[in-house]
Amino acid sequence: MNSQINVRMSDQLLANAQKYATKHGYGNVQELIKESLREKVFDETLITKEELVLIKKLVKVTEDKGLWKSEKELFQKLQKSKKIY
């Protein structure tokens, strides 16, 4: 189960967070916030920024070549390949 929270921040902080997220390969500020919290709370990253960039490139290539029909299908395939390791 996931819970939703709302965060208020100044316009300047949000603008800087959006720039940072874009520059470092995060899809949006929400992803940046979640990853930052994981790093602080668990003292580890779920995936590295480099891995995130590679995943985004993989998604783009597979989408451009029509190798998957939906995001759900892609994530199902990724989950299956994860079980191999």
For 2-22, the pLDDT digits (tens) are: 889 999 999 999 999 999 998
Contacts within 8 Å (CB) and 24+ apart, 80-85: none
* Whether the model pTM is above 0.85: no
For 21-77, the pLDDT digits (tens) are: 988 878 899 989 988 888 888 876 667 777 878 888 887 888 788 877 777 777 777
pLDDT of residue 85: 39
Q: In a 3-state reduction of DSSP, which class is residue 4? A: coil
Nearest 5°: CA angle at 83, between 77 and 85?
Answer: 115
pLDDT of residue 84: 45
Task: Dump the DSSP string for 34-69.
Answer: HHHHHHHHHSS-SS-HHHHHHHHHHHHHHHHTT--S
User: Residue ranges of the domains in the chain?
Assistant: 1-46, 49-84
